Structure 1
Amino acid sequence: MATTKWAIDPTHSEIGFKVKHMMFTNVSGKFLTFDATIETENESFENAKINFTGAVASVNTSNADRDKHLQSADFFDAEQFPEIAFQATSFTQKSGSDYELVGDLSLHGVTKPITLAADFGGIMQDPWGNTKVAFALEGKISRKDWGLTWNSALETGGVLVSDEVRLAIELQFVKQ
């Protein structure tokens, strides 16, 4: 069976996250520089080989001071750990367009398994004849699991930054 390779379309993809700030509001961010590939044996994408890398220094929350803090040793430590990586270990269809993506996330020098819900958007041809595939991924991780423990206690109780990070990822790939 022939292998099909897919490359990320970065202009139609977004690697986003949300974290509670001061226990009552969300701060959204994304990584601006990333790469991802998929290798499949069929069009269902079951058991596809999926790899992702992202540049920590490209984190963007629409606030330069906060972005610098996130890149510092308090959080991601971009100087020592410049890259986030993900390698799928399974991609399984649950029903219809609902899939489950399981893989190893490497962040801040720590590698741990994560599970993401994936919505398979389908395969389409764009107006220029390129075959595209789309996925929407969602999940939650605990930043403490990757050694991201910086925080500040609030006078009213609670902490400045929640432990839970919600991932919201939109991906579009181009058939090679």
Structure 2
Amino acid sequence: MKRFVLSAALVLAGLVTYAQTWSVDKAHAKLGFEVTHLMLSDVEGNFKTFDATINSAKDDFSDAVVELTADVNSIDTGNERRDSDLKSEKFFDAAKYPTLTFKSTSFRKVEGKKYRMEGNLTMHGVTKPVVLDVTLNGIGKNQRTQKPMAGFKITGMLKRSDFGVGTIPVAVVSDEVNIRANAEFIQN
């Protein structure tokens, strides 16, 4: 019995040691969104302050766990008045809900460099499952540090009404919010 416990402990220790943590390179990353205004034009925005990590034991990231946090007060649409409106209680209510978070529950390879990521998004005090499409753009080495790097493109769609963000009619601002993130990650 002691051998079994020791063997199991060694296997678990090996798995934990083998898992690699990757941190977002904030200088080469963007977390953005897009909505349709008056059913006429698309308006883009992003969160200027965010952090993300990937933990994966497999070289192809097929077992990855992705975690993200974003500061709602860092929202930027290129228009101060609109940004203030989005931070207000009419939309995100940043004073009450200053952070949005995401943690993946599944990251599976679909084909080639395409993945499907499922996880829980918490925004405006509401947690809901979301599904995102991920493309592994490539893997390389940082020329300065020689550390491994990986680039990803992430896309998806969610409904703001699912999270209670904004009661403005969909004829003014679409309920559908397109999510777009591009990020380089560096292995720690």
Please give the range of the TM-score, normalised by the shorter of the 2 chains: over 0.9
2:12 corresponds to which residue? none
Matched, 1:141 2:153: no
21, 30, 42: which is aligned to 2:58?
Answer: 42
Give RMSD over aligned pairs.
1.0
Task: Supply the distance in 2 between the matched residues of 1:143 and 1:55 (Cα, whole angstroms).
Answer: 17
1:69 corresponds to which residue? 85
Question: How far is 1:44 from its partner?
Answer: 1.0
Write out aligned runs for 1:13-52 (5 A): 13-52=29-68
| Matched residue type, 2:77 | T
- Structure 1 residue ranges (4+ consecutive) displaced by more than 4 angstroms after TM superposition: none
- For structure 1, list consecutive stretches of 5 or more residues without a partner in the other structure: 153-157
Task: Supply the distance in 1 between the matched residues of 2:143 and 2:152 (Cα, whole angstroms).
Answer: 19
163, 167, 170: which is aligned to 1:150?
Answer: 167
1:79 corresponds to which residue? 95
Alignment partner of 1:149: what SS?
A: coil
2:179 corresponds to which residue? 167
TM-score by length of 2: 0.89
In the alignment of these two chains, the number of paired residues is 171
| Matched residue type, 2:159 | S
| Matched residue type, 1:27 | V
Considering Cα pairs closer than 8 Å and 6+ residues apart, tell me whether 1 or 2 has the greater RCO. 1
| 2:92–2:166 Cα contact (<8 Å) kept | no
Task: Supply the distance in 2 between the matched residues of 1:116 and 1:130 (Cα, whole angstroms).
Answer: 27
1:108 corresponds to which residue? 124
Task: Supply the distance in 2 between the matched residues of 1:173 and 1:127 (Cα, whole angstroms).
Answer: 14
| 2:103–2:119 Cα contact (<8 Å) kept | yes
Task: Supply the distance in 2 between the matched residues of 1:14 and 1:121 (Cα, whole angstroms).
Answer: 15
Identity %: 36
- For structure 2, list consecutive stretches of 5 or more residues without a partner in the other structure: 1-14
Write out aligned runs for 1:121-136 (5 A): 121-128=137-144, 129-136=146-153
Question: How far is 1:62 from its partner?
Answer: 0.2
